[in-house]
Amino acid sequence: MATEVKVPTLGESVTEATVGAWLKKPGDAVALDEPIASLETDKVAVDVPSPVAGVLGQQLVKEGDTVNVGAIIATVEAGGVASAPAPAAASAASAPVAASVPAPAPVSSNTEDASSVTLSPAVRRLVLEHGLDPSSIKGTGRDGRLTKDDVMAAVAAGTAKAQGAAPAAPVAAAPTSAPTSSARAEERVKMTRLRQTVAKRLKSAQETAALLTTFNDVDMSAVIEARNTYKDLFEKKHGVRLGFMGFFTKAVCMALRDIPAVNAQIEGDEIVYHNYADISVAVSAPNGLVVPVIRNAETMSVAQIEKTIGDFGKKAKDGALTMEDMKGGTFTISNGGVFGSLMSTPIINPPQSAVLGLHRIEDRPVVRDGQIVIRPMMYLALSYDHRLIDGREAVTFLVAVKNAIEDPTRLLIDL
């Protein structure tokens, strides 16, 4: 008996999604709750689990199709028998006919073997980019699934096989004409739903808000010294590495309390002030920038903040962020410094009214007590909606963050 597979509830106000990838083929055996397809929503990728154990029947939609919540996308034959051996038997029966054209057969077989590995959209993209055979990589994720770290480790170690490498060896002469045709090749790839949403929201922010950016620089000497002194003890006690984001998040929470307009937002003709700090942390994911939220960050310790950010980073790499992880946020911190950015003008994340941009740390000459000395300096950038936040408030907020980072004792005695 066939059981219908429907698009699950995707989250508040989300009514449709795009089929990102089929993780199983018709005829593949599936277990109860095993992901059979991945959907891309405006914010995250969502796996569609099998409602029963059995064999995947029809796929009623194609990759790239838009589907609504509750739509039927496939069927599963409960208790069915996987049809995987059938193609093998068929190819064996037709072996005498296929003998005259041996090249295509092994390529097709290898492709089917590789595609049978269950991959998340992030991992699938990485495998395709490197042209790897996923079945040659050992997975460490749930139920042995591949993670992004597994693929990158295999690439670094050189242990992963190239897709189709084995069967391609006997026909090595075939690719000789490829260089001439691909010298000026172009490729058109449809924008993912996440990328389309990011593009619309950022453009909307520019058109709606009165954006302005103010800059300052901060001497990172004290924070670097504290980190170097306590990082080993910190990791031993809390099980997480001590970074700089914990310090900046605590400094931001203190500054938001003193300058509440930076933590507010405009709704119609009203200003909504928040007495809590839900900090959105910009994280790079395979499909684009995402901003999971550290809720009630003002109540957290540095260790709790660092652990939460670390969990978000891992989930983003594995494509496992949920709608709940992304919901809300009153202020954003974006750290372009991890990619080497010297300075930028970040764009606010509506309906928020401000975003703090962090940048790379580099030694620069500065004047201290009348002497030119070398200090590890970082540029800070605060972009804000000038409709709500005045220049004085923006500058005061940024100076408060600077003072807390240059003298971390302020974070302990609440100054």
233 vs 1: CA distance, rounded Å: 59
**Contact yes or no for 242/230 (Cβ under 8 A):** yes
- DSSP classification of residue 85: H
Active site annotation includes 386? yes
Q: What is the CATH number of domain 195-413?
A: 3.30.559.10
DSSP helix/strand/coil, 326? helix
Domain ranges of the chain: 1-83, 111-190, 195-413
336 vs 306: CA distance, rounded Å: 17
One DSSP character per residue, 258-303 reads HSGGGG-EEETTEEE--SS--EEE-EEETTEEE--EETTGGG--HH
Residue 374, φ and ψ in degrees, nearest 5: -100, 130
Residues 6+ apart with CB under 8 A from 53: 30, 31, 32, 78, 79
**Contact yes or no for 209/387 (Cβ under 8 A):** yes
Q: Which helix (H) or strand (E) holds 95?
A: helix 95-98
Per-residue pLDDT of the chain in tens (415 residues, 90 and over written 9): 788 888 887 765 577 788 878 888 888 888 888 888 888 776 667 788 888 888 888 888 888 788 888 888 888 887 655 554 444 444 444 444 344 444 444 433 344 444 445 566 667 767 776 777 777 887 777 667 777 777 777 877 777 666 655 444 444 444 554 555 567 888 888 777 777 777 888 888 888 889 999 999 999 999 999 999 999 999 999 999 999 999 999 999 999 999 999 999 999 999 999 999 999 998 776 666 778 999 999 999 999 999 999 888 888 877 778 778 888 899 999 998 888 899 999 999 888 999 999 999 999 999 999 999 999 999 999 999 999 999 999 999 999 999 999 999 888 877 6
pLDDT score recorded for residue 100 = 42
Cα separation values, 393 from 258, 268, 323, 359, 384, Å: 10, 22, 32, 22, 10
* Choice among 232, 390, 407, 414 that is catalytic: 390
Active site annotation includes 390? yes
Please tell me the class of the 111-190 domain: few secondary structures
Please tell me the class of the 1-83 domain: mainly beta
* Choice among 232, 386, 407, 414 that is catalytic: 386
